[in-house]
């Protein structure tokens, strides 16, 4: 397909909206359309990133598929175009090179970059940030769950350090993520209202985001048996929570390199004893004993994760940390601070552990209950771990 970026590059003002777009979804499109109208921009150039910037922990779909989906999503809308500049450039691609190429075609073009507010923290480490911000203005789009005070402080810092034109857009947006779309495909759920219809069909026709091995695992007699048993032991609401934890734990397992199948099983089983008489505070231990004895679960990682999901413990193995955090951040959780913790969960597992333990201890104290000594020890441990390693855990700066 020809590079449709050329058409919009003729306009006087254009915004580059870069992203992996794996896949592009209605949230991307709604934000881009709203930003274009709000700032009176001539057009928006969707710029799928080259395949060389791989996100940690998962394979990114091929550049051609991501490009095709972006084209399908905006077909027929003259306000949008899709550019091949970054996917066609060999090696790591840099935004500054893209901007130079666009200006090479039209030196009078006024370019804005639309970026997520989290990107404001990365821009100083991009290639030639001074030159980039001399040539472009920035429109930072606030993201749900991100610390607004920190974003505003960074916004001011960028503006004063680079003297650039910068706006923070906080208008209404659709809280959709590409990973949620991929998860829906994986679990056989609908993506009908998450992506444009043509993108939905493209994904189905090509079998994108499917994982036959994992699907066979989900459909195996053993795993179906776990789900049925748990369903018989707890209320429908808690069962939905357990499936939500299982699916969210798989997402985190992928992100942090843990075993997906173990994460799923631990999530399904973790609350099976929650409604046993008198088991409330000890339901993690009770569920581990039940899973080991009655369900024949032999894997020590799964049993440990289930055992410690209520209190936490110092130096928990990766799977246990993932279950602990997944339990507190699955999508049905809506307590105060849940969105922030959910955002942190996919950025830094140890810092998420600190926040989660602090919140859990506060809830416990508010209810007039005593905090479990394991939780106190766990909080001390993860605070220290974050101080030692700077809270860095799985985050990758791609240096664009």
CB of 308 to Fe ion, least distance (A): 11
**Under rule CB under 5 A, residue 247 binds Fe ion:** no
CB of 320 to Fe ion, least distance (A): 13
- Measured CA angle at 26 (ends 24, 27), to 5 deg: 90
**Under rule CB under 5 A, residue 327 binds Fe ion:** yes
- The region of 198-206, 263-271, 365-373, 384-392 touching Fe ion under the rule CB under 5 A is 263-271
15 or 378: CB nearest Fe ion: 378
83 or 355: CB nearest Fe ion: 355
How far apart CA 195 and CA 174 sit, in angstroms, is 11
166 or 246: CB nearest Fe ion: 246
30 or 295: CB nearest Fe ion: 295
**Which DSSP string do the residues of 229-260 spell out, in sequence order?**
HHHHHS-HHHHHHHHHHHHHHHHHHHHHT--H
Task: Kindly determine how many residues on this chain lie close enough to bind Fe ion according to the rule CB under 5 A.
Answer: 2
Answer whether 254's CB lies under 8 Å from 58's CB: yes
How far apart CA 77 and CA 29 sit, in angstroms, is 11
271 or 301: CB nearest Fe ion: 271
327 or 350: CB nearest Fe ion: 327
Please say whether the dihedral angle defined by the alpha carbons of residues 52, 53, 59 and 64, taken in this order, is positive or negative: negative
Residue 188 makes CB contacts below 8 A (sequence gap 6+) with 215
- The region of 219-227, 264-272, 360-368, 375-383 touching Fe ion under the rule CB under 5 A is 264-272
36 or 309: CB nearest Fe ion: 309
How far apart CA 85 and CA 102 sit, in angstroms, is 9
CB of 188 to Fe ion, least distance (A): 23
CB of 239 to Fe ion, least distance (A): 11
132 or 306: CB nearest Fe ion: 306
CB of 243 to Fe ion, least distance (A): 11
CB of 273 to Fe ion, least distance (A): 9
Strand partners, 111: 14, 136
CB of 225 to Fe ion, least distance (A): 20
Helix (H, G, I), strand (E, B) or coil at 113: strand
- The region of 43-51, 182-190, 267-275, 312-320 touching Fe ion under the rule CB under 5 A is 267-275
Residues 138-167 as x/- pattern, contact with Fe ion by CB under 5 A: ------------------------------
CB of 232 to Fe ion, least distance (A): 17
How far apart CA 178 and CA 23 sit, in angstroms, is 6
22 or 327: CB nearest Fe ion: 327
- The region of 110-118, 146-154, 251-259, 269-277 touching Fe ion under the rule CB under 5 A is 269-277
Residue with tokens 């893209």: 98
- The region of 104-112, 200-208, 270-278, 354-362 touching Fe ion under the rule CB under 5 A is 270-278
Of residues 143, 18, 149, the one with CA closest to residue 157: 149
Residue 136 makes CB contacts below 8 A (sequence gap 6+) with 16, 99, 111, 112, 113, 164
Answer whether 339's CB lies under 8 Å from 144's CB: yes
How far apart CA 242 and CA 330 sit, in angstroms, is 9
CB of 306 to Fe ion, least distance (A): 9
CB of 264 to Fe ion, least distance (A): 14
How far apart CA 290 and CA 221 sit, in angstroms, is 19
Q: Which contacts of 175-181 are long-range, i.e. CB under 8 A and separated by 24 or more positions?
A: 175/27, 175/144, 176/25, 176/26, 176/27, 177/25, 177/27, 178/20, 178/21, 178/22, 178/23, 178/24, 178/25, 179/251, 181/23, 181/25, 181/209
Residue with tokens 């709000």: 38
Helix (H, G, I), strand (E, B) or coil at 44: strand
**Under rule CB under 5 A, residue 271 binds Fe ion:** yes
CB of 248 to Fe ion, least distance (A): 11
- The region of 14-22, 32-40, 321-329, 380-388 touching Fe ion under the rule CB under 5 A is 321-329
301 or 327: CB nearest Fe ion: 327
271 or 340: CB nearest Fe ion: 271
Which parts of 87-116 interact with Fe ion (CB under 5 A)?
none
Question: Token pair of 363, please?
Answer: 């809830």
Q: Which residues bind Fe ion (CB under 5 A)?
A: 271, 327
């Amino acid at each position: 397909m020809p590079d449709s970026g050329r058409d919009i590059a003729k306009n006087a003002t254009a915004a580059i909206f870069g992203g992996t777009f794996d896949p592009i979804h209605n949230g991307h499109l709604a934000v881009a359309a709203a930003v274009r109208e709000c700032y009176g921009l001539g057009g928006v150039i969707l710029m799928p990133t080259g395949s060389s910037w791989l996100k940690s922990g998962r394979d990114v779909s091929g550049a051609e598929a991501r490009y095709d989906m972006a084209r399908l999503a905006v077909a027929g809308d003259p306000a949008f175009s899709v550019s091949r500049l970054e996917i066609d450039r060999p090696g790591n691609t840099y935004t500054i090179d893209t901007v130079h190429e666009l200006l090479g075609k039209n030196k009078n073009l006024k370019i804005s970059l639309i970026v997520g507010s989290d990107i404001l923290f990365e821009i100083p480490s991009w290639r030639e940030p001074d030159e980039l911000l001399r040539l472009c203005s920035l429109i930072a789009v606030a993201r749900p769950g991100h610390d607004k005070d920190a974003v505003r402080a960074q916004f001011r810092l960028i503006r004063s350090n680079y003297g650039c034109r910068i706006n923070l857009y906080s208008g209404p947006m659709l809280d959709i993520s590409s990973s949620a779309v991929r998860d829906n495909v994986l679990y056989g759920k609908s993506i009908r209202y998450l992506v444009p219809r043509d993108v939905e069909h493209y994904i189905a026709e090509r079998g994108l985001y499917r994982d036959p091995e994992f699907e066979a695992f989900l459909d195996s007699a053993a795993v179906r048996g776990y789900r049925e048993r748990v369903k018989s032991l707890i209320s429908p609401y808690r069962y939905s929570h357990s499936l939500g934890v299982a699916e969210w734990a798989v997402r985190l397992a992928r992100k942090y390199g843990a075993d997906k199948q173990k994460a799923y099983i631990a999530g399904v089983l973790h609350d099976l004893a929650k409604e046993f008489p008198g088991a409330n505070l000890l339901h993690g231990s009770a569920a581990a004993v039940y899973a080991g004895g009655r369900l024949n679960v032999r894997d020590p990682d799964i049993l440990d994760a289930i055992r410690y999901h209520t209190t936490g413990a110092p130096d928990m193995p990766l799977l246990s940390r993932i279950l602990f955090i997944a339990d507190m951040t699955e999508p049905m959780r809506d307590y105060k601070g849940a969105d922030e913790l959910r955002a942190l969960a996919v950025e830094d597992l140890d810092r998420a552990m600190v926040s989660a333990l602090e919140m859990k201890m506060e809830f416990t104290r508010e209810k007039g209950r005593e905090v479990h000594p394991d939780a106190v020890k766990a909080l001390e441990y993860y605070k220290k771990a974050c101080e030692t390693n700077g809270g860095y855990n799985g985050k990758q700066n791609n240096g664009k």
